[in-house]
Amino acid sequence: MLADRCGAVGGVRGGSPLDLPRSEHVAPLVAPTRVRYGVVACTLALIAVAYLDRVCISTAAPAIKSALELSDTQMGVVFSAFTFAYALFEVPSGWFADRFGARLTLVRIVAWWSVMTAATGFAGGFASLVVIRLLFGIGEAGAFPATARVFVRWLPPSERGRVFGLAIMTGAFAGAATQPLVVALLARMSWRAVFALLGGVGVLWAVAWWCFFRDDPRDHPWVNEGELRVIGEGHDARVVLARTPVPWALLARSRALIALCAMYTGAIYGWYFYLTWLPTYLLRGRGFDLAQVGWLAALPLVAIGVGVFLGGWLSDALSRRLGSRAGRRLPGVVGLPLAAAAVVGAVATSSPIAAAMLLATAAGLAALGVAPAWAVCLEIGGAHAGVVSGTMNTFGNLGGALSPVVVGICLERWASWRAPLLSVAALYLVAAACWLMVDPTRRIEAAAAT
């Protein structure tokens, strides 16, 4: 009924072809609707809420550590528990999204993580906090692979790099805003109340998503034929819900996927330093007060936001000019070595403010290759984009899980910030080398057909 009503007004599906001249029956000149932009806006809100819930624990870490009497090593394990579980369940959740669609998958994910965010405030000690964070990671796993399914179904290939950049930029900006927000909330309530409050944010999103989104654009009552033509190449047989078995053997032999996984491990290892230990580093390692830390710890996340958006935009533009193979690689090949140099500079400088600025710069430069990596997953994965992107994200988050533990051990044994920061620089260089082995033109499904 809604489609018919819209068709009477704007020419969407449901309007009668008898109302058009004969020449327009073949290719009706219908102004495309813009429902896909609403879909993108919903995914941006999803990622913002995900980072709000994910980053708040790093800002609250000093209060949690004091209240529960945790050591640095134990706090590192708490940080890593989420990331480790998140990594292990990325591929199963990616498969779930491929098989059952992003609509159901994302509602399940958001409902789960909302409960676990609130539950964090009820932790009574180290063991219960680790269990809650493990469950949190299990529940949130698959959010980005499911989002990849949304983009591959609703966007033409020429827009995917930019939109991935915009999506991850939104998450980074939300994480940046979380830092001063949580500082302000902690001045007014306990850390337990903060988690309970933030846990309720995702519920409204889940309801809105279920009502608005459809896995197939053709099933959405507000989408017309003009918009389906704009979506174009993204709306073909390669990206329907995966009914065929996952080609695990081909995935395991895919040089592009192996290189992506190794690259993402190194890149996200550094990313998780900014998400977890950076506020503590600025507080204890560089002598800033808590109010200053709230803003300075946000700077790397702002830089990451700029970096991922710029990297996605550059990779789309460079791919059109130089081809996908060179265009997708260049942002990471250039940005990661420069990021390593900036981290080394932060270690070497005696100026606290210079160290904070250099780390923010490093975060932004390293992020240039993130959105292109997700675009490559869509290009080589096809109908199995959720599994492919989930595999890459698994290895990235295993690197992310390792990072907080390394920092905690270094602090407890040697009281050193130097060693973990230099490990970030080293892994950035490894990640840059891995980009040279990525070939987006080697599609896994094409290999399966031969």
Find the range with the poorest average confidence among 16-20, 271-275, 444-448.
Answer: 16-20
CA angle centred on 406, ends 402 and 412, rounded to 5°: 145
pLDDT tens column, 322-348: 998 899 999 999 999 999 999 999 999
- What pLDDT does 20 receive? 39
- What pLDDT does 351 receive? 95
User: How does the average pLDDT of the chain come out, rounded?
Assistant: 84
- What pLDDT does 339 receive? 98
| Rounded CA separation 229/425 (Å) | 45
- What pLDDT does 243 receive? 55
pLDDT confidence bin for 446, thresholds 50/70/90 = low
pLDDT confidence bin for 445, thresholds 50/70/90 = low
Handedness of CA 146, 147, 150, 151 (dihedral sign): negative
Amino acid at 249: A
Taking residues 62-83, what's their average pLDDT? Answer: 89
- What pLDDT does 12 receive? 40
Q: What's the total number of domains in the chain? A: 1
pLDDT tens column, 6-38: 443 333 444 433 343 444 444 455 788 899 999
- Which tops the pLDDT comparison, 1 or 275? 275
Contact in structure between 329 and 438 (CB atoms under 8 Å): yes
- What pLDDT does 237 receive? 39
- What pLDDT does 238 receive? 43
Amino acid at 402: L
pLDDT confidence bin for 173, thresholds 50/70/90 = confident
Q: Helix (H, G, I), strand (E, B), or coil: what is residue 13?
A: strand
- What pLDDT does 16 receive? 37
User: Is residue 15 situated within a structural domain?
Assistant: no
- What pLDDT does 29 receive? 59
Q: What domain range includes position 438? A: 34-231+247-449
- What pLDDT does 233 receive? 46
User: Is residue 100 situated within a structural domain?
Assistant: yes
Residue 365 has pLDDT above 80, yes or no: yes
pLDDT confidence bin for 369, thresholds 50/70/90 = very high
Show the tokens assigned to 170.
């939104």
User: Other C-beta atoms within 10 Å of 350: how many?
Assistant: 6
Contact in structure between 182 and 195 (CB atoms under 8 Å): no
User: Is residue 14 situated within a structural domain?
Assistant: no
Give the residue from 366, 309, 307 showing the smallest Cα distance to 163: 309
Residue 15 bridge partners (DSSP) = 13
Taking residues 215-228, what's their average pLDDT? Answer: 90
Find the range with the poorest average confidence among 123-132, 167-176, 261-270, 401-410.
Answer: 167-176
Q: Helix (H, G, I), strand (E, B), or coil: what is residue 15?
A: strand
Whole-prediction pTM: 0.70
- What pLDDT does 172 receive? 81
Find the range with the poorest average confidence among 211-215, 332-336, 412-416.
Answer: 412-416
Q: How far apart are the first and last CA of the chain?
A: 46
CATH number for the domain harbouring residue 76: 1.20.1250.20
Residue 204 has pLDDT above 90, yes or no: no
> What DSSP assignment string belongs to 67-135?
HHT--HHHHHHHHHHHHHHHHHTHHHHHHHHHHH-HHHHHHHHHHHHHHHHHHHTT--SHHHHHHHHHH
User: Is residue 180 situated within a structural domain?
Assistant: yes
- What pLDDT does 192 receive? 93
Q: How far is CA 243 from CA 7, 237, 240, 260, 380, in A?
A: 33, 11, 8, 25, 18
- What pLDDT does 263 receive? 96
User: Is residue 242 situated within a structural domain?
Assistant: no
Residue 1 has pLDDT above 50, yes or no: no
- What pLDDT does 364 receive? 95
Share of the chain above pLDDT 70, in %: 90
Contact in structure between 420 and 406 (CB atoms under 8 Å): yes
Share of the chain above pLDDT 90, in %: 41
User: Is residue 208 situated within a structural domain?
Assistant: yes
Residue 214 has pLDDT above 90, yes or no: yes
pLDDT confidence bin for 432, thresholds 50/70/90 = very high
pLDDT tens column, 222-255: 998 888 888 874 444 344 444 567 788 888 888 8
User: Is residue 80 situated within a structural domain?
Assistant: yes
Taking residues 164-190, what's their average pLDDT? Answer: 85
